[in-house]
Amino acid sequence: MPNGFDTVTERMYNRRVVVRDGQRKSTLFFVRVFAPTELKHLLEETGFRRLPLLWRLEQLSAYGGTQEDDRGRRRT
């Protein structure tokens, strides 16, 4: 896979090219990208209890809107 994000595995792929002493070496690597709610769940499983989500939901929404419940409260 070339540079990019795989939505199925949630991995960001990148190709790093190093040229040293006239030799070219290309390496593909990836970074696993966790969703904020997934990170919160993992931390809760390890014993953390107070985990407020400290960001604005509008920034996380794929649709650009806020995520609110039926009482107008923001959901995390």
Domain that holds residue 19: 1-33
Residue-wise pLDDT tens digits, 33-51: 988 888 888 888 988 877 6
Q: Same domain for 41 and 71?
A: yes
Q: Same domain for 49 and 76?
A: yes
Q: Same domain for 23 and 40?
A: no
With a cut of 60, say whether residue 60 has pLDDT above it: no
Residue-wise pLDDT tens digits, 4-17: 888 888 899 999 99
Q: Same domain for 25 and 39?
A: no
Q: Same domain for 64 and 27?
A: no
Considering the chain, what is the average pLDDT of its residues? 76
With a cut of 60, say whether residue 57 has pLDDT above it: no
Q: Same domain for 2 and 39?
A: no
Q: Same domain for 43 and 72?
A: yes
CB-CB contact of 74 with 65 (8 Å): no
Number of folded domains that form the chain: 2
State residue 64's pLDDT score.
46
How much is the average pLDDT of 20-34?
93
**pTM, entire model:** 0.47
